[in-house]
Structure 1
Amino acid sequence: MKRKGLLALVALVVGGVGIAHATDYSNWYIAPRVGAVFPDSNRKTQESPLLGLGVGYWVNPNFAVDFEATHNNADFKDNSPRPGKQWESMGLDVAGRWMFSDWSGWRPYVMGGIGMLKHAAVSAGTPAPGTGGIGAGYTHGWGPMVTAGVGIQKALTDRVAFRGEVAYRYDRDTQSARFAGLEDHKQYGDALASIGLVISMGQPAPAPAAAPAPAPAPTCDQLDDDKDGVNNCDDKCPNTPAGTIVGPDGCPQKVVIDLRGVNFKFDRPKKGETDVSKVLKEPTEESMAILDQAVDTLKRYPQVRVEVDGYTDDKGKEDYNQALSERRAKIVYDYLVAHGIDASRLDGPKGFGESNPIDTNSTEEGRARNRRVELKVLDQGAPQQ
């Protein structure tokens, strides 16, 4: 009987390993084990081998539940009522095991279980007391059983772990004990010691993905706290108010739009002239390039407002020069608007006649420079620091 039971257990283990390759549920496992039963002295049986096979499930990383069948077949002691005969015990139970924290690869645990235990005399030719017949009057049955114990478990591979355990098994036998002449004893406590394996079914659960490494802290050349377009490393004026025009060092910078070089022909524009390129002093291409640079500057700094002012030399009557200066301011004003500068950003056009010369009116070259238009910056948006 012992040999047959061992062969059956091996077959179950081999079959369980096959199942482990076929299933997808890595929380399930099988747990074969072998060990020994040290019986209650009142059983009057010898120590015997223990065979067990369980199917378990990890409820969480620390708690597992096993559904287990056990078997042991003990000989009576020489001084028992039935010397030389065997006594078979079969158990079915549900046990919970609580695993503690890992300790150098080992996980100690406590266990407790509840189930049923069945005893039966299995030797052929064992007569019931007083009958003389083989098996006559034979009675047996299942009785309640509880177990409690401690153990330790260690992972051997990602799918297989070693398990060692010692436990106490209590059972109540009201049927089969009297067959063995043990009518006075109906409650028994046995000690169990076993070693075994925990074989995970299916592929092991994937390890949790490693948390991504924190991004490196940005350096000062990657930061622009005051959002002025100059990084913190180069910004010598931090905390500049939003919208302030700043230079390469991050400090407020006054915008100057210089139209020097844009000079007008003598007594131009006439009334009704609208094409600025026709009234500028030659070389006209250079003057037009300066006007286009002014347009670009105003577009680059949309918060800037300017005043458009026109001037003349001192040739001619003062009233005439006043009107001529206004026409010069107007033709530049219209050119800026026509090239995308909103009129709300332009103050004027204003004429100042022959006042405020920038050069002498005693030479032709000086008078040519005085025939001009200026863009005076009024507002740069945010206040400067």
Structure 2
Amino acid sequence: MKRNALSALIALSLLGGGAVAQAQDLGNWYIAPRIGAAIPDSNRDTDTSVWAGFGAGVWVNPNLAVDFEYGINNASFKNSSWRPGHEWESVTFGVSARWFFGDEGSQWRPYVMAGVGAQRHTAYSGSLSAYPPYGRVTTNANGWDPMATIGGGVQYNMSERLALRGELAARYDRDDNTRGATSDALPIGFGGVAFHPTHKKGYIDAILSVGLVYSFGEHAAPPPAQPAVTPPAPDCHSLDDDHDGVNNCDDRCADTPAGTIVGPDGCLQKVVIDLRGVNFKFDRPKKGESNIEPTLAVPTADSIAILDQAIDALNRYPQIKVELDGYTDSIGTEEYNQGLSERRAQIVSEYLTSHGVSADRITAVKGFGESNPIDSNSTKEGRARNRRTELKVENP
């Protein structure tokens, strides 16, 4: 094949690829026309020649591509003086695998390659006759031999469809034709001729090439985004974001800290437990007295009912703690009244704990004697109200 035929093949590959791409969508397939140089094994006796190739490839995955390839080069013999105007044609068919490094979208992607196939060598101009008296003797030799390639390169992605590929590969083939077509003819005796074959089986050539990679089809479009399904908003009556026991619909203070005592509107509520009405008889309880009922002013049942209400409130708000304070009227010495006020606070504390209130919720039991009166000590009624116990709530 003449060298101008090689140029025509490359042009046809480039122009024809675009027409095929218009006709159908081939997905991951591509074509790869290439041109370069075939640098022969030094034992071939041929010159470096133009090499042209054409491949059709497919991406197996983002890193692996497989190409089905055709290649051709016409080499001139170095000893052109005895074989003027003749060329040696080499044609290859094979399949190659290329492993690309880097991400699929990278602009530069180096790769390694390996391939197998078959290669045919033949004298393009036909057989040669002997060159007497002691020249070269040829045969009309041609044939197919197994071939393998290994090498590497780099691919520069110019767009989604078009890339530039440069490659250097070593091509080994079991060629027994290139030099098998010639033998050295040497004289022996008187007019006799002995033929000494000079060929060897197996050559390693270098193929340096650059080419284009044109991909067919479009990249698969991502699936259409599904419209977001907004779940129906839950009923606010079923929600309690701050876990205060008041649903979101009714909660006017939606960010109260955990453990806060809140009212029906979800806002902070100060708990007050009033023991007003729980009054003691004069000079009671005595030292060592533990039963609270005989110490209470009449009607005793009213005082007990108030104490029981306090117990119920404490059970409803288990997070609060209390302090018990005892008081007296002004009759008696301050020292005596101090002790009496402490006994009054202590006997109420014991009543609460004996009816289910945990002792660790009573932070202090204090007596304040005759200080802090709530009524006049000048009247009998005023002194009766001053003989009391108060419960101070410590809200969390």
TM-score using structure 1 length: 0.54
Give 1:94's aligned residue: 95
Give 2:302's aligned residue: none
- Cα drift, residue 36 of structure 1: 0.2
Q: 1:229 to 1:175 in 2, by over 3 A?
A: same
Give 1:64's aligned residue: 65
Give the conservation status (yes or no) of the 8 Å contact 1:228–1:240.
no
Q: Distance in 2 between matches of 1:130 and 1:136?
A: 9
Partner amino acid for 1:127?
L
Matched, 1:192 2:245: no
Matched, 1:235 2:255: yes
CA RMSD of the aligned region, Å? 3.9
Q: Distance in 2 between matches of 1:62 and 1:148?
A: 17
SS of the aligned residue for 2:179 comes to: helix
- Cα drift, residue 205 of structure 1: 3.5
Give the conservation status (yes or no) of the 8 Å contact 1:159–1:204.
no
SS of the aligned residue for 2:78 comes to: coil
SS of the aligned residue for 1:178 comes to: coil
Structure 2: tracts of 5 or more residues without a match:
184-196, 231-238, 272-395
Give the conservation status (yes or no) of the 8 Å contact 1:77–1:83.
no
Partner amino acid for 2:114?
G
Give 2:274's aligned residue: none
Larger displacement relative to structure 2 (204-213 or 154-163): 204-213
Q: Distance in 1 between matches of 2:177 and 2:166?
A: 33
Instruction: Give the counterpart of 2:267 among 244, 249, 257.
Output: 249
Q: Distance in 2 between matches of 1:65 and 1:136?
A: 39
Instruction: Give the counterpart of 2:119 among 117, 127, 144.
Output: 117
- Cα drift, residue 94 of structure 1: 0.5
Partner amino acid for 2:267?
D
Q: Distance in 2 between matches of 1:94 and 1:82?
A: 34
- Cα drift, residue 224 of structure 1: 2.1
Q: 1:42 to 1:136 in 2, by over 3 A?
A: closer
Q: How does 1:129-140 map to 2 (within 5 A)?
A: 129=130, 137-140=139-142
Larger displacement relative to structure 2 (139-148 or 5-14): 5-14
- Cα drift, residue 118 of structure 1: 0.4
Give 1:169's aligned residue: 171
Give 2:79's aligned residue: 78
Give the conservation status (yes or no) of the 8 Å contact 1:128–1:138.
no
Q: Distance in 1 between matches of 2:89 and 2:102?
A: 38
Give 2:306's aligned residue: none
Q: Distance in 2 between matches of 1:53 and 1:24?
A: 20
- Cα drift, residue 185 of structure 1: 1.6
Identity %: 42
Give the conservation status (yes or no) of the 8 Å contact 2:154–2:166.
yes
Partner amino acid for 1:198?
V
Give 2:146's aligned residue: 144
Partner amino acid for 2:241?
D
Give 1:31's aligned residue: 32
Q: Deviations over 1:108-139 (max 9, x none)?
A: 10000000010011025x425479xxx99512
Partner amino acid for 1:235?
D
Give the conservation status (yes or no) of the 8 Å contact 1:225–1:239.
no
Give the conservation status (yes or no) of the 8 Å contact 2:248–2:254.
no
Matched, 1:224 2:244: no
- Cα drift, residue 22 of structure 1: 2.1
Q: Distance in 2 between matches of 1:52 and 1:82?
A: 27
Q: How many residues align?
A: 242
Give the conservation status (yes or no) of the 8 Å contact 1:228–1:250.
no
Structure 1: tracts of 5 or more residues without a match:
216-221, 254-384
SS of the aligned residue for 2:26 comes to: coil
Give 1:8's aligned residue: 9
- Cα drift, residue 235 of structure 1: 2.8
SS of the aligned residue for 2:141 comes to: coil
- Cα drift, residue 249 of structure 1: 2.8
Q: Distance in 2 between matches of 1:118 and 1:148?
A: 19
Q: Deviations over 1:87-122 (max 9, x none)?
A: 110000100000001597211100000000100110
Q: 1:196 to 1:148 in 2, by over 3 A?
A: same
TM-score using structure 2 length: 0.53
Larger displacement relative to structure 2 (223-232 or 5-14): 223-232
SS of the aligned residue for 1:42 comes to: helix
Give 1:44's aligned residue: 45
- Cα drift, residue 233 of structure 1: 7.2
Partner amino acid for 1:236?
T
